[in-house]
Amino acid sequence: MRRFLFIALLCLPFAAIAQREIQDNTGWSLKDRIYLGGGLSFNGGTDGYNNRFFYFALNPIVGYMITPQLSSGMGFQWQHYEYPDINETIDQYGFSPFLRYNFGKLFTYAEYNIMNSQMYFNSSDRQNFSRLLLGVGYSQPLGPRGAVHAMGLYDVIYKVNGPFASPWVFRVYFSF
């Protein structure tokens, strides 16, 4: 099933976070095409070791509209995991270049995520880990430049014994 999902998502056009509408007569100035945004991620459930977890994150972004449909940019993350069954918390941080392609209010999204995380519970040793998040989302415009976006992402290189509790990530973003 995971291979099928990976192949299906690779067939989709990749995308990024741009919500400002650009008309044909809009200039190509940097000011017209740059956008800022950010949001929250959340998840919960049981990890690969049957520990319950709750996860939340802050995700500021800066992006550039390449065309009216295609945009690219860089995101930054701070993620916090809580494991109530074993009374543990883990903080992760990192960055992620992304692409997004809009189909009206729907979009496809791809993000390569590099995160720094603790190696094990109760450890001060840290290591970098990678994720490849692919997914789809929906945008609701909030005026001529802003929008709210909701998306579901799946980590196609997820490893059960890795630092991430689940391959699924759900986000709500705002951009302006």
How far is the C-alpha of 169 from the C-alpha of 90, rounded, in Å?
A: 17
pLDDT band (50, 70, 90) for residue 25: low
Q: Give the model confidence (pLDDT) of 81-136 as tens digits.
A: 899 998 888 899 999 999 999 999 999 999 999 999 887 666 778 999 999 999 99
* Residues 98, 75 contacting (CB under 8 angstroms): yes
Q: Is the pTM here over 0.85, yes or no?
A: no
- Can you tell me whether residue 13 is helix, strand or coil? coil
66: left (phi > 0), else alpha (psi -120 to 50), else beta?
alpha
Percentage of the chain exceeding pLDDT 90: 44
Q: What is the pLDDT of residue 162?
A: 76
Domains of the chain in sequence order: 2-175 (2.40.160.20)
Q: Which of 92, 66, 68 is nearest to 80 (CA)?
A: 92
Q: Give the model confidence (pLDDT) of 54-67 as tens digits.
A: 989 998 999 999 99
How far is the C-alpha of 133 from the C-alpha of 96, rounded, in Å?
A: 10
